[in-house]
Structure 1
Amino acid sequence: MPDRLSAADLIDLVLDAGSWSSWDEPPAYGEISEAYAADLAKAREKAGTDESVLTGEGLLRGRRVAVLVGEFGFLAGSIGRATADRLVAAIRRATHEGLPLLAAPISGGTRMQEGTPAFVQMVRIAEAVMAHRGAGLPYLVYLRNPTTGGVMASWGSLGHVTVAEPGALVGFLGPRVYQALYGEEFPEDVQTSENLYARGIIDAVVAPEDIPDILDRALRVMRPPADLSAPEPADEAVPDVDTWDAVTRSRDTGRPGVRRLLKYAASDVVPLNGTGQGESDPGLLIALVRFGDVPCVFLGQDRRGQTAAHPLGPGALREARRGMRLASELGLPLLTVIDTAGAALSMDAENGGLAGEIARCLGDLVTLDAPTLSLMLGEGNGGGALALLPADRVVAAQHAWLSPLPPEGASAIVHRDTAHAPEMARAQKVRALDLHAIGVVDRVVAEKPDAAEEPEEFCRRVGAVLAHELAGLLARGPGSPAERAARYAG
């Protein structure tokens, strides 16, 4: 680990020069023991601060933000009653003034000199953070080395976006406590930033010097200017292509997927990771992004992360539901991208509640109190595809399709062979053009003649359509559940 940055060092690194303004009042402790008073005096001298947390405001690349920063030099960053009072007052002020809130905890947890009265402050701090989030205001967290105990279990784990310092000790249990209780050392590779990232608990591992950039990109998406617009692209004619030809083209390994769509057509991409609750599925990509100037929460089925050995699982849908909650809380449009050969058909998927997750995705999407846009980009096979379809508007690539089973599976059921797959695909009206004709799809984006042959141009063309659609949705607001469901009644 590099040398630990003090609270003042981190403030100087992240905020615009000279912009910091403290909100802190002198802490009040009431009647305390002489020994505790002596500990506090030594801590003030050692850390150069009056408590283990500094709060205030500053400018981040010209944007006004509120800040909570831990100071480990003050009694190992521990949280007492006075610290909690300071945190709660600052969070509530940020909420009242409509400011994004940046938190950089570093702490061993509850202050043992105060015991249970300090321990229960986790409740007050969590309530204040959730009220801030409930007001639609961003809460972004940077976990530093170490962040454990009651801090990790309250304001350290409630961020819309949570990243951590490389190599940081991050977790609930203090290793020293574990060793004292059980007589053995806690495994070294569990409570690390890198392990939490691998398990879908945090969004990224980020060096301190890179924090200003990721915060700036996230806030450009989460706090967009008002009255955004995007020009309407020309509505080009889409030639009639045979259904089986479209299905075959959609399976081309050279066809651009969500990663190339983001590379060529999006900006300010902030990848997120996992559910935040211990699951991460490579078959789903979740991010904060902008198409043109228009922001959205992006949920894309990633063909590169879906393999025969690891198809789209229920964890991917739980991750998608995290994105839905983000869009709802932040008032951002939600963009879902369908491109899957199908959800996992396995014992693990059944034990993981796949059917229930499909149902919950459908229910969440159709009732979501945020504008929604769905893009059918390629294959759309089965319930895993349908789970991301309900939306206020639906756009489809020319060779995209949607089917309850792959055509080969439908053929096996009806004809007891796979030779009739092309015939079944035509009969089941799976094509984007067929779905447009019956009102399931609102707009079809032409491929000239195939996205695999013009990946960059195709992605930019799709991006322009998405920007226009998202801008329109932001202006109109979310549709009602009845309106979203009505398109499937015909």
Structure 2
Amino acid sequence: MPERPSARAAIALVTDDFTELSSPARQSTPNGPLAWDGYDALRAGAADRTGEDESVVCGTARIEGTAAVLIAFEFGFLGGSLGERTGDRLEAAHTHARDHRLPVVALIATGGSRMQEGMVALSQLQRVARQSALTREAGLPQLAVLRDPTTGGGWATLGAGADVILALPGAQVGFAGSRVRPADADPAAYTAEAQVAAGAADAVVGPEELRPTLGQWLRLLTAPSTEPAPPPHPLGATDLPASGWAAVQRARSPQRPRAQSYLDAYFGHRVAISGDRCGGTDDGMLCGFGEHEGRTVAYAAQTGTATRPAGYRTAARLIRLADRLGIPVLTLVDTPGAANDAEAERQGVGAAIADLFGAVASARTPITTLVIGEGGSGGALALAVPGNTWATPDSYFSVIAPELAAAILKRPPEDVESTADQLRIRPQDLTELGIAGPF
């Protein structure tokens, strides 16, 4: 197995400069809190091998020009394990971040809690979680980079608890480390790539791209704004549809511009978050942060497919993060409706939609909504904000699809088009009804 890069090498990979924070003083007791025979010798040997006196190095740094508090684990020091002095340093790092209004970036490589300190070591996870929560409440972003390995409590606190989670290719990532997982466990499930696929991390980033990627994230997440995001200009039809059914046909046309085109036109550059953090992803919901006319704007955009539960949960995560950081949000509505298959029900589609409704309703940051295609029932409305919703000329918004409305009303198929007219779903109808603003 190749030698793992040290904490100092990881710091040099991503920073323009680095100033180490002074370590909190703690009264030393022989062989640690459990008086574990030989523990002092183990620590001394680890210090000789690594040049570090603990498993974590903390300091301030500039990453592509943005100041941050940086936490880097030294895996060579007792497997990067968390002990009492590790907890001291992590607490001091978060306190410094809050005192100086700095984001926190953690470069993680750890096997978990330190056996030689027993429950004292394990209890550091509560301490770390508390510090992370206080930093979150202070409105400061937290980013994690998952190095090899990131397992145990380090993954379950600093890693999985971060706002944005990036991972190095091939890194071992999982709550269960290699020595404690079942013998027949599939090793492919404990990788960075598997965690991204399961919605537990946002992206795999190669070492050569890590510094610019972190720099872009930090610039975007540290630029709050109180101004609403302006709605994008329509990219498709400019004339209004003559009938409800014509509006439906336009919205369903394969030639109509989709979310990707709107995002490309609206943002100079953008970065994506992925996954609902509970085991799912949905390619039909694009979420992230971008730069529009010099300002950071968060986005959640449906792509024209039936939205899955994971898509709603990812959008809710995006909106809550933007709200906490004071960043305005743009949502693009385009879905025939929520996924209604049996698997969607098993995955909690109703609860996921309710969660998104709640995130939008409780957001303090301004949200702007543009309907760019189909607006199918509550599955579309959950992404829309009252009072600042707009509709393009090739879109519609309906209580339900006209075909389904006719079926509910026990009307024959030939009445679908007239039902679409009665529902008043055209963009101009939405304006007259006070649902959407006019372009």
Q: Within the alignment, does 1:78 sit opposite 2:81 as a pair?
A: yes
Is the CA contact (8 Å cut-off) linking 1:200 and 1:275 kept in structure 2?
Answer: yes
1:346 counterpart letter in structure 2: D
Correspondences of 1:137-216 after superposition (within 5 Å):
137-178=140-181, 184-216=183-215
Q: Which residue does the alignment assign to 1:285? A: 286
Alpha-carbon distance change, 272 to 231 in structure 1, aligned in 2, over 3 angstroms:
closer
Alpha-carbon distance change, 61 to 116 in structure 1, aligned in 2, over 3 angstroms:
same
The whole-number CA distance in structure 2 between the counterparts of 1:172 and 1:82 is: 22
SS at match of 1:420: helix
Moved over 6 A (4+): 225-235
2:370 counterpart letter in structure 1: L
SS at match of 2:116: coil
Q: Within the alignment, does 1:421 sit opposite 2:416 as a pair?
A: yes
Q: Which residue does the alignment assign to 1:24? A: 22
Q: Which residue does the alignment assign to 2:325? A: 330
Is the CA contact (8 Å cut-off) linking 1:411 and 1:419 kept in structure 2?
Answer: no
SS at match of 1:65: strand
2:49 counterpart letter in structure 1: K
Q: Within the alignment, does 1:132 sit opposite 2:135 as a pair?
A: yes
The whole-number CA distance in structure 1 between the counterparts of 2:10 and 2:134 is: 26
Alpha-carbon distance change, 345 to 329 in structure 1, aligned in 2, over 3 angstroms:
same
SS at match of 1:242: coil
Q: Within the alignment, does 1:121 sit opposite 2:116 as a pair?
A: no
The whole-number CA distance in structure 1 between the counterparts of 2:277 and 2:229 is: 33
Correspondences of 1:226-237 after superposition (within 5 Å):
none
The whole-number CA distance in structure 2 between the counterparts of 1:196 and 1:270 is: 18
CA displacement, residues 137-189 of structure 1 (integer Å, 9 cap, x when unaligned) = 1100001100111111111211110011111111111121235xxxx243211
Is the CA contact (8 Å cut-off) linking 2:367 and 2:388 kept in structure 1?
Answer: yes
Is the CA contact (8 Å cut-off) linking 1:80 and 1:110 kept in structure 2?
Answer: yes
Q: Which residue does the alignment assign to 2:241? A: 241
Correspondences of 1:26-45 after superposition (within 5 Å):
28=26, 30-33=28-31, 35-45=38-48
What is the aligned length? Answer: 432
Displacement of 1:225: 6.7
Correspondences of 1:305-344 after superposition (within 5 Å):
306=305, 311-344=306-339
CA displacement, residues 271-308 of structure 1 (integer Å, 9 cap, x when unaligned) = 111112211122211111222222222111122xx3xx
SS at match of 1:441: coil
Q: TM-score, normalised by structure 1?
A: 0.83
Higher mean C-alpha deviation, range 331-340 or range 20-29:
20-29
SS at match of 2:70: strand
2:419 counterpart letter in structure 1: M
Identity of aligned residues (%): 36
SS at match of 2:157: coil
SS at match of 1:140: strand
The answer for unaligned runs of 5 or more in structure 1 is: 445-490
The whole-number CA distance in structure 2 between the counterparts of 1:169 and 1:130 is: 26
The answer for unaligned runs of 5 or more in structure 2 is: 32-36
Is the CA contact (8 Å cut-off) linking 1:27 and 1:51 kept in structure 2?
Answer: no
The whole-number CA distance in structure 2 between the counterparts of 1:128 and 1:154 is: 10
The whole-number CA distance in structure 1 between the counterparts of 2:272 and 2:364 is: 23
